[in-house]
Amino acid sequence: MKYVSEFRDPILAQALTARIRRAVTRPWTIMEICGGQTHTIVRHGLDELLPRGVELVHGPGCPVCVTATENIDRALAIAARPEVIFTTYGDMLRVPGSSKDLYSVKARGADVRIVYSPADALEMARRNPEKQVVFFGVGFETTAPAHAMTLQLARKSGLKNFSMLVSHVLVPPAIRAILSSPSCRIQGFIAPGHVCAIQGYKEYEDLAREFRVPIVVGGFEPIDLLEAVAMLLEQLEKGSVVCENQYVRSVTRDGNRNAQASVREVFSVAPQVWRGIGMIPGSGLQFREEYKPLDAALRFAVDLTPAPEHPDCISAQIMMGLKKPWDCTAFATRCTPDLPLGAPMVSNEGACAAYYRYKRHTHV
């Protein structure tokens, strides 16, 4: 596939690992934020190509993992209503709420359907006028424009039976929270390329300046990530602290202004609770007044009694870069993708699920 296979070329990977080995003189700790990048790194064993002492730690960039338990519980309660067709992305069905997940609600008779796109949910609403179609939209800046545009289309078309439950999270406030933590050990960041395809990377230039930390916007293929790591290590070795763009074929400094305008029209920035981490100011998106009639959280009143996280789950420390999945006593024993205790074991992009799939037999 064009723009995929060329960026998986083993010869280029060898050249990049040689460049990395030449650059490095001491240990460094780098965090990739995005769960898609975590998946590529673990799947292709890129971390094992790096010199001893260069550590890649995995950030909170899996939206499925950080969706607050309260939002999952709200989704479960809405999905259980008889008049509702509940639609969402496939990853969301096994995410544990306080006591159950969407699969178990579906097993009890709820009409829960997986869709590829929010546009498919809107189409479902058109075809099922007697039902209330609810789309559960979670995601980072990459996904928010698709949700915003779907809501704009729904509003224009005047559909009365479509609404959306949203849980959006924003990356720069999370990086700020990680860097502000007294226990932070991250010395450089790989910024998420597809988030930056939407937002551009000016906010990351500000973070690099403010916290004096190098940041490289990286793509998603092995060559992209090795090049991003090489660029970061070269900066770290010479004491440079700027934001650079490795993913130039898809990311511009200003990002996609049409997408940003759509999101701005529908949503405003708000505080957001991240599962396992807590509330991060300015890290979420809420419906603007004129779009509130399409907010499923307002359309369907539900009673919620949130329960605490499972006491064995250390997902917060994993997502803050303090621990690795195999530091958890429940990893691959009491917590597996089939029976997850915490959300990072659910999604393909969760660090625990990636380690379970590719590394559970390699760490003794």
Partner 1 sequence: MCLAIPGKLLTVDDHVITRVGSVEFGGITRQANLDLVPEAQVGDYVLVHVGFAISRIDEAEALRTLEILREMGELSEVEDGPASP
φ, ψ (nearest 5 deg) of residue 167: -145, 90
Residues 270 and 293: their CA atoms lie apart, in Å, by 18
Our CB check for partner 1 shows the closer of 63 and 172 to be 63
Tell how far CA 313 is from the center of its chain: 19
Q: In angstroms, what is the minimal distance from the CB of 23 to partner 1?
A: 12
Pairing between strand 267-274 and 278-287? Answer: antiparallel
Closest CA to 199 of 169, 178, 226, 229: 169
- The number of helix segments (H) and strand segments (E) in the chain equals 15, 11
φ, ψ (nearest 5 deg) of residue 243: -100, 125
Our CB check for partner 1 shows the closer of 147 and 332 to be 147
Our CB check for partner 1 shows the closer of 42 and 332 to be 42
The residues with which 29 forms a beta bridge, in sequence order, are 55
Q: In a 10 Å sphere around its CB, with 0-12 CB exposed, 13-18 middle and 19+ buried, how is residue 52 labelled?
A: exposed
Our CB check for partner 1 shows the closer of 52 and 116 to be 116
In the complex, the residues that contact partner 1 under the rule CB under 8 A are 1-4, 6-7, 11-12, 14-16, 18-19, 22, 34-36, 61-64, 89, 91, 116-120, 138-140, 142-143, 145-146, 149, 153, 156-157, 192, 194-195, 197-198, 220, 223, 227, 248-251, 256, 258-259, 262, 347, 349
Our CB check for partner 1 shows the closer of 97 and 118 to be 118
Q: In angstroms, what is the minimal distance from the CB of 183 to partner 1?
A: 27
Our CB check for partner 1 shows the closer of 64 and 76 to be 64
Our CB check for partner 1 shows the closer of 259 and 335 to be 259
* Cβ atoms 195, 141 nearer than 8 A: yes
Our CB check for partner 1 shows the closer of 7 and 300 to be 7
Q: In angstroms, what is the minimal distance from the CB of 362 to partner 1?
A: 25
Q: In a 10 Å sphere around its CB, with 0-12 CB exposed, 13-18 middle and 19+ buried, how is residue 100 labelled?
A: middle
Q: In angstroms, what is the minimal distance from the CB of 82 to partner 1?
A: 28
Q: In angstroms, what is the minimal distance from the CB of 344 to partner 1?
A: 13
Q: In angstroms, what is the minimal distance from the CB of 68 to partner 1?
A: 16
Query: Structure tokens of 32?
Result: 């990739």
Give, for 124, the enclosing helix (H) or strand (E).
helix 118-127
Q: In angstroms, what is the minimal distance from the CB of 35 to partner 1?
A: 7
136 contact partners, CB below 8 Å, separation of at least 6: 75, 86, 87, 88, 89, 92, 164, 165, 167, 296
Residues 55 and 30: their CA atoms lie apart, in Å, by 6
Tokens 């809420």 -> residue: 286
Q: In angstroms, what is the minimal distance from the CB of 11 to partner 1?
A: 6
Residues 229 and 13: their CA atoms lie apart, in Å, by 12
Q: In angstroms, what is the minimal distance from the CB of 305 to partner 1?
A: 28
Our CB check for partner 1 shows the closer of 78 and 148 to be 148
